[in-house]
Amino acid sequence: MRTRNVVREDLRKTVAKCKNTQSIETILKIAEIYRKVHDNATFEEVSELQWEQRLMINEVMNSTNTKIRNNFKNSRNL
């Protein structure tokens, strides 16, 4: 598992490469939601909408990974 500092550095590099301001704002919003959810001091600040957004982000990321894996497996069986 990667350390927090390594992940932060990767995030900095990714954001530095983004040319679209809207993409950077979206990354920032997602990071803020996850920070609030996983920080005991700010967990109470999480709105119902933010909680639902977090669940949807997780669902999308998991389904995408599963879809890619299944497509790869299926293509190898041809």
Query: By C-alpha distance, which of 27, 1, 2, 4 is closest to 14?
Result: 27
Same domain, residue pair 25 and 38: yes
What pLDDT is attached to residue 3?
93
Residues 66 and 50 in one domain: yes
Do 39 and 62 fall into the same domain?
A: no
Tokens of 33: 């939601």
54 and 37 assigned to the same domain: no
User: Alpha helix locations (H) across 1-78?
Assistant: 4-17, 21-38, 48-76
**What pLDDT band is residue 78 in, cutting at 50, 70 and 90?**
low
Number of domains, the chain: 2
pLDDT digit string, tens, across residues 32-60: 999 999 999 999 999 999 999 999 999 88
The whole-angstrom separation of Cα 48 and Cα 1 is 30
Same-domain status, 60 and 27: no
Single pTM value for the model: 0.69
pLDDT of residue 61: 84
- Say whether both 34 and 59 belong to one domain: no
The residue range of the domain holding 65 is 46-77
Spatial contact of 42 and 35, defined as CB atoms under 8 Å apart: yes
